[in-house]
Structure 1
Amino acid sequence: MEEPQHRIRAAHSESTITVYQAYSPEIGLPAVRDGRFPAMWKRDRMTWIKPSFLWMMYRCGWGAKEGQEVVLAVEIEREGFEWALRHACLSGYARGVHPDRAAWQRRLKRAPTRVQWDPERDLRLQPLPYRSLQLGLSGEAARRYADEWTVAIRDVTPLAREIHALVSGGDLDSAARLLPQERPYPVGEELLAQLGE
């Protein structure tokens, strides 16, 4: 079955969805230890969350990039995630979604969340012909994410390294079996349409 161009794929349960971020050890390790983001995590700046494990691996280089050595799986309430989607604006102007460029800019200024669709990645981190969601949280959304929506924070750096080693050794089947089980996230067509490109 062919993948739609825009679809949210994620590991999720009845009440939570898992998103990924990567941080320096100064932020990542206390977050894992305490199950919440430390005070030094800046709640007043934009933070990007990614439901796609492989897109996160592409972004952080399997946890090897400086300042992104600790890869976190952050389990958040679905209610919060869906609030973020409802209050989101596309990070770029899209004809057909916005009446005009000025309307998009006004909406972008007010929106506490931004949506960006980037090519999903395969195990070799090569782009696939369909896209995955990135969600930028700022202001109220970033504060809610850190202090209200977060249910659990796990360190998945060892998993990232194990999968990367298998990929590097050419054992893609074993690597694929270790991937988090991401499946389509149920979100209304109407909401996805306003977040399409």
Structure 2
Amino acid sequence: MMYRCGWGAKAGQETVLAVEITRDGFEWALRNACLSSYVRGVHADRATWQRQLKRVPARVQWDPERDLRLQPLRYRSLQVCLSGEAVRLYADEWTVAIRDVTPLAHEIRALISGDDLSAATRLLPQERPNPAGDKLLRTGTHGDVTAV
């Protein structure tokens, strides 16, 4: 995800934080989420999806992942957007740690600029598939849920 802020170099995105939340909180968000866009065959109809989208405290969408050279990878990662009750829960109950990883992002960016991709890769947080898979997503989706 650090590449999305230009490794801490984009204007207004110079600070990169790693936010750790509880598994229970993450799973609550997934259970109470709706896909951010209408998908024929997943939703009964567009009107039903729009009503659901207005009342849920979380939205999810599958975003393409990129490698260090920003080339598309074969998998997508889940983006979760919180609103309403979910924002309060995130701030007051789910968040267990916040770390400033800006220096790490800058170090990775420098290694990429110097074409040392193997060293940059070793500094990236390790990702692994979410053991719950996509069964927590109430509306059903495609792809693999990834947890860091």
TM-score for the superposition, normalised by structure 1: 0.68
The letter for the 2-side match of 1:111 is V
Aligned counterpart, 2:116: 171
Name the counterpart of 1:89: 34
Cα distance per residue 1:29-84 (max 9 Å; x no partner): xxxxxxxxxxxxxxxxxxxxxxxxxxx22321111112211100001010001000
Residue 160, structure 1, aligned to residue 116, structure 2: no
Question: Counterpart in 2 of 1:121?
Answer: 66
Gaps of 5+ in 2: 143-148
Q: Percent identity?
A: 77
1:192 Cα deviation (Å)?
4.6
Write out per-residue CA displacement over residues 148-172 of structure 1, whole angstroms, 9 at most, x where no aligned residue: 1100000011111111111111111
Extract unaligned runs of 5+ from structure 1.
1-55
TM-score, normalised with respect to structure 2: 0.90
The 1-side partners of 2:101 and 2:140 are apart by 29
CA distance in 2 between counterparts of 1:189 and 1:57 reads 24
Cα contact 2:8–2:14 (8 A) shared by 1: yes
TM superposition shift of 1:125: 2.2
* Amino acid corresponding to residue 70 of structure 1 in structure 2: T
Q: Which residue of 1 aligns with 2:84?
A: 139
**AA aligned opposite 2:78:** L
- The residue number in structure 2 matching 1:13 is none
- Matched-pair contact (CA < 8 Å) for 2:65–2:72: yes
Instruction: Give the whole-Å Cα distance in 2 for the aligned partners of 1:188 and 1:72.
Output: 25
8 A Cα contact 1:115 1:195, kept in partner: no
